[in-house]
Structure 1
Amino acid sequence: MCGRGGRVRTVVFDVLGTLVDEPAGIRAGMRALAPSLDASGIERLLSLWQQHIEGEQRRVLDGARPYLASDALDRQAARLVADAAGVDDPAAVATMALSGRRLPPWPDTGAGLARLAERFPLIGLSNASRTALLGLNAHAGLRWHQALSAEDARTYKPDPAVYRLAVTVSGRPPERLLMVAAHAWDLRAAQGLGLRTAYVSRPVGDPPTSADRFDLYADGLAG
């Protein structure tokens, strides 16, 4: 991979949504929590879960609350979901809180990472905590040379401090790193720090707008 700024030396991957199907894993956890829920009920609870996680991460980014790792946010979201579903079983809620560590990979993820790992150092860069990221990587069979958690920066993407973790670990200037994500907001933030960017289309991603200009666009990791 060549072009602006010379040859890419390190590839950095977003994890949640880009390499694993996060909503599918959370839905599975909800079905186990409350088997009587129908599809519309699952979607309602999924929305509740996502709104809580995104809202609390935004509060951290805005300085409205101290940093709290993703594990704690997941436990909060699990309690909210259980209350909404009428479930009062602490063990079931604790299991639900771990759903974010049991996310299925997209069909092309394993082969795509293996192929790229033969050519580049691969870094995973995730908002998941260190502990959650370990479990998630093991469950999904993700191949990394290094996995970095936003916990190390005590903030969340799209804070520049998170992307700076990957730049520092790589030992390369930002323009020698390629950030791969299914979320345009993620790539915009990486771009702001000087990384090159590749958008990968996923059903659960945040698609680019007409104003976005990324270095690469792909339908997946195959090929």
Structure 2
Amino acid sequence: MANSRYGEFGIKAVFFDFMGTCLDWHTSIVTAFPTALSEKEKSDLALEWRQAFFDAIRSRPLGETPEDIDITHTRVLNEVLARPANTGISQRFHQADDGDETKAVKQAVQAWHQMDSWPDVRAGLERIRAECGCEIFVLANGTTRLQLDLVRSSRLNFDMLFSSQLLGVSKPTLAVYHKAMTLVGIEDPGQAVMVAAHAYDLRAARQAGLKTVYIQRWTDDLDETDQQRLHRENDGSVLANFDGLADTIKRL
């Protein structure tokens, strides 16, 4: 017999990736970039930085101790700015009236701690709580401090925040999914769902036995262009936003 705290559906827990999936990181980062850059330059640089961040994450050995995400963001941004194609942007990016050439980088890195949610997220989460009876969690790479700052700035409400720092391992290592499920009392991975805008995350979650829902955000997964593969890997659960997420979870 199913635990009475859950609804009539088979899913007991829904884990969410945070930045990109739930949060509009792009607006926050573009706003934090120096005014010496054009709006297009800011947007392109933000997208390049984000892609380079994921390239760095995926290149790490599985099971490696998580690095502080602020350190990763700082290193990756400096690497992106050092690319020959970004020489002109880099020169203007580092300009500062007080001579502190690191100020703009620090300001950009700090912007990852202050974000609004995508317009569809809050209502989508409320529908899941009301109609599916699931508990909802953040399961994302990063520090606990980062996640605390982001739930405050986005005003989103979750039952628990699981950071890679807290769990001691980063996605896409399978242990991160198993540890999160164990901590919330999920013995059958088929009773849990991972929701993300990142295919690499969902591929690992499926290996760990979770069901998956892919959210397509224009800011993320710029290298994932095979729509048929995304639909196939997620059993057709590919959504443009959170509007139909509760209905999708009911069908899983």
* Equivalent residue number for residue 87 of structure 2: none
Task: Check the 8 A contact 2:62/2:172 in 1, yes or no.
Answer: no
- State which of 9, 13, 28 in structure 2 corresponds to 1:10: 13
Deviation at residue 49 of structure 1 after TM alignment: 2.5
Residue pairs, 1:8-47, within 5 angstroms: 8-30=11-33, 34-47=34-47
Deviation at residue 44 of structure 1 after TM alignment: 4.7
* Equivalent residue number for residue 76 of structure 1: 75
- State which of 119, 125, 132 in structure 2 corresponds to 1:107: 119
Deviates more, 1:110-119 or 1:39-48: 39-48
Deviation at residue 47 of structure 1 after TM alignment: 4.6
SS in 2 for 1:147: strand
What is the alpha-carbon distance in structure 1 between the residues aligned to residue 80 and residue 28 of structure 2? 15
Amino acid at match of 2:53: I
What is the alpha-carbon distance in structure 1 between the residues aligned to residue 198 and residue 144 of structure 2? 21
Is 1:210 aligned to residue 218 of structure 2? no
Is 1:126 aligned to residue 144 of structure 2? no
Report how many aligned residue pairs link the two structures: 214
What is the alpha-carbon distance in structure 2 between the residues aligned to residue 171 and residue 160 of structure 1? 17
SS in 1 for 2:138: strand
Root-mean-square deviation (CA, aligned residues, Å) is 2.6
Task: Check the 8 A contact 2:47/2:219 in 1, yes or no.
Answer: no
**1:175-216 CA-partner distances (Å, limit 9, x unpaired):** 110111122221111000000111222222335642333243
* Equivalent residue number for residue 61 of structure 2: 61
What is the alpha-carbon distance in structure 2 between the residues aligned to residue 170 and residue 178 of structure 1? 13
- Structure 2: runs of 5 or more not aligned: 1-8, 83-89, 245-252
What is the alpha-carbon distance in structure 2 between the residues aligned to residue 47 and residue 80 of structure 1? 14
- Structure 1: runs of 5 or more not aligned: 1-5
Task: Check the 8 A contact 1:74/1:97 in 2, yes or no.
Answer: yes
**1:64-88 CA-partner distances (Å, limit 9, x unpaired):** x864121221233455578822235
Q: 1:166 and 1:92, CA in 2 relative to 1: closer, same or farther beyond 3 A? A: same
Is 1:177 aligned to residue 192 of structure 2? yes
